A and B are shown apart, each in its own frame.
Chain A
Amino acid sequence: MPITAEFEYVKPKDMDEALHVFSFYREKARALAGGTDLVVHLKENLARPEVVVDLKALEELAVFEMKGDTLRLGALVTFSDLIASPVVKNKFPLLWEASLTVASVGVRNRATVAGNICSAVPSADSAPALAVYEAEVIVRGIKGERRIPIGGWFTGPKKTALLPEEIVTAVELKVPSRKNAGCYMKLSRYDGEDLAQGGVAVLAFSDNTYRVAVCALGPKPSRCPGTEAALNGSKLGEKVLARAKEAILQEVFPISDIRSSKEYRLHMTQIMLERALEIAVSRLFGKGPKYGTENIV
C-alpha cells in the first residue's frame, strides 16, 4: 500500500539540528526510529506530519551502556539489542522477559523501547517492566533536558508527557538495591506474535515488598499501588493472595474489544497476578521456571 500523505524527510546529523526542527515544526514533525508504528500510521493516514525526522544518525541516541548501577537505553536501542544483552538479562531479567513477548524477530530488529513508550498504546509490553523498575524517561527540547518518571509518562491512550518540541533521548533504569526477582505474564490468543489482551508484571523483593504493574487492562499501562499495599510486608500465602486478587480488581479498567471481553480480562487479571507472584517469589529463591517465554499464560 503506498503512502498517500506527502511529507518532507530529514535526517539530522546532530542533536542541535534535530531539536531545531522539532521546535519549528512542533506537532507537525514526527520522529522516526524503527518506524514499525509510524509507517503503519502514515499508510493509514493516522499520522499526517509535514516532516518526518529520522533520528538514526544521532550517535548519542544509540548509547546502550551500564554505568555504575544505571542502565541507559538510548532511544535507538531496539528490542533485539536488549534481548541480546547479557547485562539486561542478568540485571533486569523482567525487562528481558517482557521484550521477548514483543511482536516477532523481524519487528524487534527495528522497533525501539523508546518508540514503544512513545506510541503509548495501552498494551505496550515494555511498560509494566519499566514501571516496576521505576525507569526514568529522558527527553530533550531546545530549552533543555527533563527527566520524567515512568509513572508520570503515560497520560492516556496513545498520549504521553512528551511536549511537541521534545524528543526522547533515553530511558534509564537503576538496578534495585535489594535482592529481587520478577515475572511478566502476557495473555495473548496464541503463543507468538500477538498484542496483549492483558499483561501483569510483578517484581518481588527479599524483604517481602512487591511492585505490580499492568498493561492492556485500562486506558494506559500503570502501577497498582493498592495491590502492592495488600501484599507488602507479608510472605506470599493464601490469605495475602486473596487480598491482592481483590485489590487488583479495583485498579484495572479493561474494556471489551475484538481481542477479548471485559469479563474475561477481569477474570484473567486475577489468575495472571497469582501466577506472576508465585513465579516471581520462587525465582527469588532460585527456583521456578527460567526467564523466557515458556511461562506465558
Chain B
Amino acid sequence: MKKHNIEFSLNGEKVALEVEPSDVLLDVLRGRLGIKSPKVGCDRGDCGTCTILMNGKTMRSCLALAVEADGADLVTLEGANSRKWTQKLQKKFHEKNAFQCGFCAPGIILSATELLEKNSKPTAHDIKEAIAGNLCRCTGYEPIVAAIEETVKGK
C-alpha cells in the first residue's frame, strides 16, 4: 500500500515520518516515537487510557489513523507541563492518592486539563461528565473528583 509522509507537532517538536495507511496513531506514538503515556487499554474507544490532545482537544489515539495526524498539533502527558492546569492537577492527584496503579492517570489528567481550560469553575457534575470516558478500576473515582475539585480551589 502506498506509504504517506506526514509531519506533525508532538509536544512542541516537529516530527516527520513515513506511515502506512493502516498504522494506528496510538501504535505509532508508542512503538515508533517512544511516547508511553498513552496506554493500550480496550483499544476501541471505551476506556480513555489512550487519550491525547489533538489541536487542544482530547481524543482517542486508538481511534485515529496515524496519517490523519498530518499537520496536527499533538500533546501527550509528556509535553503537557506547559499547560496551565496540568502540573497543579498532578500535584493534587499525588496528594489525594488519586492514583493507584496509574494506568488511567495520563488520560484522566489530560481530560481534566481540557475541562479546566474550558471551564475553571466546574461543578461536581461537570467533572464527572468530563472524566466519564476515562475508566479507573482502582480508586472508585472519589479521590479523583476530589483532587480535581481541590485543584480548582487552589487549596
Which B69-87 residues sit within 8 Å CB-CB of chain A? none
Residues of B within 8 A of A8 (CB): 1-2, 21
Residues of A within 8 A of B40 (CB): 1
* Segment touching B, from A16-24, A105-113, A141-149, A238-246: A105-113
| B11 smallest CB distance to A (angstroms) | 19
- Does B64 lie within 8 Å of A110, measured CB to CB? yes
* Segment touching B, from A39-47, A67-75, A178-186, A214-222: A39-47
Alpha-carbon distance between A43 and B45 when the two chains are bound, in angstroms:
12
Chain B: CB-nearest residue to A50: B1
Contact A105/B21 with A9-B4, A36-B63, A193-B46 known, Cβ cut-off 8 Å: no
A43 contact from B43, B51, B114, B134, Cβ within 8 A: B43
Which B123-153 residues sit within 8 Å CB-CB of chain A? 125, 128-130, 132-134
Q: Is A52 interfacial (CB-CB < 8 Å)?
A: yes
Q: Is B58 interfacial (CB-CB < 8 Å)?
A: yes
- Does A7 lie within 8 Å of B68, measured CB to CB? no
Chain B: CB-nearest residue to A84: B118
- Does B22 lie within 8 Å of A192, measured CB to CB? no
B58 contact from A1, A3, A106, Cβ within 8 A: A106
- Does B133 lie within 8 Å of A35, measured CB to CB? no
Alpha-carbon distance between A80 and B134 when the two chains are bound, in angstroms:
17
Q: List 12 A-B contacts (CB under 8 A).
A: A2-B24, A6-B22, A7-B21, A9-B21, A36-B60, A39-B63, A39-B64, A52-B21, A105-B111, A106-B45, A106-B51, A110-B60
Residues of A at the B interface (CB closer than 8 Å) are: 1-9, 32, 35-36, 39-40, 42-43, 52, 54, 56, 80, 100, 103-107, 109-110, 191-193, 293-294
